[in-house]
Structure 1
Amino acid sequence: MPVTGCLSPHLPLPQSQCERLDWHPPRLGERVRVIAWTCKCRVPLYELCEAGGQAFIRRAVHKGGRWKVQETSRWRSAEAHAMWTALLSGLAR
């Protein structure tokens, strides 16, 4: 892998058997802790987040001069970390 100066991971292309994640509008007014993220030099941006004892993935896409943010459903932490690994491996989108 070439050195690009980026410290966060870049997502590979989706695999042929890629799992489709369901994306929903973000919950507002919730305290969220971002625990991992993809590189900000490529969009969409993804973040692994925790809130209220559960975890989820957040996606931000830049369209029409604005950021559109969506989130997955909430999972137990172990499930969210497994889905994050799948995302980073091209096995989920």
Structure 2
Amino acid sequence: MTERGQIPDFHGPHVDSPQPGHIKLTWYEPTRRAQRIRVVSHTCECRRTTYELCAAAGQGFVRRTDRDNDTVRETAWTLTAIARHTFDQILQGEAR
């Protein structure tokens, strides 16, 4: 339990280095397809590039934020299970 007024440290998972022959994902400009987007999971904020598994309007996608280039990109919107699999591939270094 945290003391009143304190926010606990939270670190999401770290992304593994890209593996040789990893899948090259296509990243798109963000779209305003839904009013609300829920972040289901995210990587650790200590890295310059973070990834978020997002869900909205019955679909899922992965959002990538690159602080070095000040850019936000996302994968194509798809079935939630496919987006979750893509997010797992990113975490394991199998996709970028």
The TM-score range, normalised by the shorter chain, is 0.7 to 0.9
Q: Work out the CA distance in 1 between the residues paired with 2:68 and 2:16.
A: 21
Calculate the aligned-residue CA RMSD, in Å: 1.6
Q: CA deviation at 1:7?
A: 2.5
Given that 2:11 and 2:45 are in contact with CA atoms closer than 8 Å, whether structure 1 keeps it comes out as no
Higher radius of gyration, 1 or 2: 2
Q: Which residues of structure 2 form unaligned runs of 5+?
A: 1-8
Q: 1:21-61 deviations in whole A, cap 9, x for unaligned?
A: 10000013631100000000002110000111100000001
Question: TM-score scaled by structure 2?
Answer: 0.83
2:21 equivalent in structure 1: 17
Q: Work out the CA distance in 1 between the residues paired with 2:86 and 2:62.
A: 8
Q: Secondary structure at the match of 1:13?
A: coil
How many equivalent pairs are there? 87
Q: CA deviation at 1:63?
A: 3.2
Question: TM-score scaled by structure 1?
Answer: 0.85
1:83 equivalent in structure 2: 86
Paired-residue identity, %:
38
